[in-house]
């Protein structure tokens, strides 16, 4: 490359595609948008519910067990433990930036606009919190503090649907803050190092990541087959195989008993085109959310980048990238610039149960 071009690339002014300069058009990553604050009383209740393990069948787990603020709002494991004695077959992803997901869950089975429904599914699904909605409602009514907090928000009694929407509203407040990439996009040229700017150019150019990873959280919200290898534990551990098959069975997937690998969105659409397709993962806060991919099969970003460098796995349309080790390193440093400050929310503790005697009087 001409020395002058190299300077431009290092300054992040142009991207490089196979040695040629790319135009500044096409999809790109964007800074985090400003979010309007929601209803404060609703969010505060949502925060209490998020940390309260009485929302699970056996009082064993809360949302925070699997989406722990101190572990990047995930659980730090490759595969989720699931509800006690369950063992799930996929990774527990971060809940950060749920507000900006077009679809929820690794196989994209839920609409990203509906965080309340997602919270309901997490609570009532036997693999996660295994809770009956009416039982939850009656338990929460016997907590005087919750009745008081509820009255600040609404005039009716505590009810399941609203509990879900309060949790949904709470998780919508959890967003990436102060990431170097956002400062760079807002005009601070020094927020990224020269290596990171080079990584950004590769991300948009030679490495082609931007085709699927764009917008504020680095996800097109679409389904793609990248051919991520199966995590061996899913078939070695019968408990994990069981949750996988049970998920397929409840989704109505034909011939599900023969499945020996995660079929992704196919279980939902039953369309062969969707075999092995997963929703594009977001690239925000990767600093805190290892291991990576729907089954946590890669422990480090180096492994993820090596995977793409090889052209992904079986059945994917990805091509090998022939990245040098310096280029891989640059992409990795760039990816880390999309991570912000740790988002820590305090566990408010669980106010005690106390039988509600005077119905209607509080
Ligand atoms: C026992 C562990 C466990 C508990 C408890 C749990 N989750 Fe999850 N959560 C998971 C797993 C595993 C997934 C991914 C499931 C899949 O894609 O098949 C997930 C997915 C999610 C997602 C989707 C994120 C994305 O990238 O699309 C959100 C949001 C979420 N959970 C929020 C919650 C909330 C809110 C609660 C409490 C009401 C909760 N979870 C309780 C394990 C758990
Ligand atoms: C064809 C679309 C596509 C392209 C191109 C692509 N990705 Fe991905 N990416 C995905 C999908 C889909 C997932 C989720 C795959 C899964 O979990 O099985 C993913 C997952 C990831 C993850 C894991 C995030 C997490 O939290 O688990 C990282 C990191 C990543 N991609 C980085 C990159 C980089 C770097 C490039 C360019 C070298 C790239 N991707 C190119 C679609 C793509």
Å from CA of 307 to ligand 2 middle: 10
State the pLDDT at residue 24. 59
State the pLDDT at residue 360. 56
| Contact of 115 with 98, CB cutoff 8 Å | yes
User: Is the pLDDT assigned to residue 8 strictly greater than 80?
Assistant: no
| Contact of 284 with 217, CB cutoff 8 Å | yes
Per-residue confidence at 18, pLDDT binned at 50, 70, 90?
very low
Per-residue confidence at 156, pLDDT binned at 50, 70, 90?
very high
Distances (CA, A) of 118 to 99, 113, 333: 12, 10, 33
Q: Average per-residue pLDDT in the chain?
A: 92
Q: Which of 7-11, 74-78, 302-306 has the lowest mean pLDDT?
A: 7-11
In angstroms, the CA 99 to CA 112 distance is 7
| Contact of 316 with 16, CB cutoff 8 Å | no
Instruction: Find out whether the beta carbon of 123 lies less than 6 Å from any atom of ligand 1.
Output: yes
Q: Which fold has domain 40-171?
A: Cytochrome Bc1 Complex; Chain D, domain 2 (1.10.760)
Neighbours of 352 (CB within 10 A): 9
The whole-number average pLDDT for the span 339-350 is 96
State the pLDDT at residue 56. 98
State the pLDDT at residue 3. 39
Digit-coded pLDDT (tens) for 42-89 = 999 999 999 999 999 999 999 999 999 999 999 999 999 999 999 999
Q: Quote the distance between the C-alpha of residue 42 and its chain's center.
A: 23
User: Is the pLDDT assigned to residue 23 strictly greater than 70?
Assistant: no
Digit-coded pLDDT (tens) for 199-219 = 999 999 999 999 999 999 999
Q: From atom 9 of ligand 1, which residue's Cα is the shortest distance away?
A: 92
Digit-coded pLDDT (tens) for 159-200 = 999 999 999 999 999 999 999 999 999 999 999 999 999 999
Ligand closest to Cα of 123 equals: 1
* Ligand 2 atom with least separation from CA of 277: 12
Query: Is the pTM for the entire model greater than 0.75?
Result: yes
Per-residue confidence at 91, pLDDT binned at 50, 70, 90?
very high
> Which of 76, 97, 209 to probe ligand 2 with, by most ligand atoms within 8 A of CB?
209
Greater model confidence, 352 or 357: 352
In angstroms, the CA 166 to CA 189 distance is 39
In angstroms, the CA 345 to CA 338 distance is 20
Share of the chain above pLDDT 70, in %: 92
Length of the chain: 362
> Which of 128, 289, 292 to probe ligand 1 with, by most ligand atoms within 8 A of CB?
128
Per-residue confidence at 20, pLDDT binned at 50, 70, 90?
very low
User: Is the pLDDT assigned to residue 281 strictly greater than 50?
Assistant: yes
Per-residue confidence at 37, pLDDT binned at 50, 70, 90?
confident
Domain spanning 1-30+193-227+276-341, CATH class? mainly alpha
Place of tokens 């005690």: 352
Neighbours of 125 (CB within 10 A): 17
Å from CA of 123 to ligand 1 middle: 9
State the pLDDT at residue 357. 81
The segment(s) of the chain belonging to CATH 1.10.760.10 are: 1-30+193-227+276-341, 40-171
Largest CA distance in the chain: 81
State the pLDDT at residue 16. 40
């Amino acid at each position: 490359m001409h020395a002058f071009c190299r300077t431009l690339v290092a300054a992040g002014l142009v991207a490089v595609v196979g040695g040629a300069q790319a135009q500044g058009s096409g999809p790109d990553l964007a800074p985090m948008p400003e979010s309007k604050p929601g209803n404060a009383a609703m969010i505060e209740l949502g925060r209490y519910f998020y940390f309260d393990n009485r929302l699970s069948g056996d009082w064993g787990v809360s949302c925070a067990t699997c989406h722990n603020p101190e572990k990047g709002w995930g659980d730090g494991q490759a595969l989720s433990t699931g509800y006690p004695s369950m063992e799930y077959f996929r990774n527990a992803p971060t809940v950060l930036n749920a507000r900006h997901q077009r679809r929820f869950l690794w196989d994209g089975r839920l609409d990203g606009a509906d965080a309340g429904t997602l919270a309901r599914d997490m609570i009532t699904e036997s693999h996660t919190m295994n809770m009956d909605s009416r039982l939850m409602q009656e338990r929460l009514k016997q907590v005087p503090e919750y009745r008081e907090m509820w009255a600040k928000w609404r005039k009716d009694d505590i009810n399941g649907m609203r509990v879900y929407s309060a949790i949904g509203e709470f998780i919508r407040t959890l967003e990436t803050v102060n990431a170097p990439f956002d400062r760079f996009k807002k005009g601070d040229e020094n927020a990224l190092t020269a290596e990171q700017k080079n990584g950004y150019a590769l991300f948009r150019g030679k490495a082609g990541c931007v085709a699927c990873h764009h917008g504020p959280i680095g996800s097109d919200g679409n389904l793609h087959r990248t051919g991520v290898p199966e995590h061996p534990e899913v078939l070695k551990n019968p408990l994990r195989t069981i949750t996988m098959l049970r998920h397929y069975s409840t989704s109505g997937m034909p011939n599900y008993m023969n499945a020996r690998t995660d079929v992704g969105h196919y279980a939902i659409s039953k369309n062969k085109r969707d075999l092995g397709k997963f929703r594009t993962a977001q690239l925000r806060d990767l600093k805190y959310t290892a291991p990576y991919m729907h089954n946590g099969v890669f422990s480090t970003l180096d492994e993820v980048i090596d995977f793409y460098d090889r052209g992904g796995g079986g059945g994917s349309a990805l091509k090998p990238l022939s990245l040098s080790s310096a280029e891989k390193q640059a992409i990795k440093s760039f990816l880390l610039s999309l991570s912000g400050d740790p988002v820590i929310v305090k566990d408010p503790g669980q106010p005690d149960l106390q039988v509600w005697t005077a119905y209607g009087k509080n």
